[in-house]
Structure 1
């Protein structure tokens, strides 16, 4: 199946709900095969998290709706993979910096 296969998001969220709850809520969507959430910054009231979602024909609007319903805000879309297969990023000489 074509469409979006992976999306990586930078999200600002409150401490509650926990990232475990967010992951389970996202995996309740029919086309999602897996979700990874990594906390990379914590302050007094919020957490910055990196969310990686894989599946088939992912619906960004549905994903965004769930994140926002949990109090999260998408800061950026950091990676999108689409097509028949997932192509992993390869380091090149331009990536040395």
Structure 2
């Protein structure tokens, strides 16, 4: 199957290395999930599997929100927990404000 957008992005990223902070690297990893899932959705729609493609929209949404949270809201302690795969679920003020802003911008 051809996915010209996905192929172009892969071509542009080929051989690229990224040396950022822990925060930037974790956010980037989640955005790669978004990109890979987009390619899967494109292929599923092309094959006529629209229901399966729609199910993956939540994966894109959650990975994007998580990447934004990591980059803009996570505390240093939460980043350390993320490295250990032991993030404690606590609502902090930055996250609350981000969600509120996202909801208000949709109106």
Higher strand share: 1
TM-score range, shorter chain: under 0.3
Q: TM-score if structure 1 supplies the norm length?
A: 0.23
Q: Which structure has the larger Rg? A: 2
Q: TM-score if structure 2 supplies the norm length?
A: 0.22
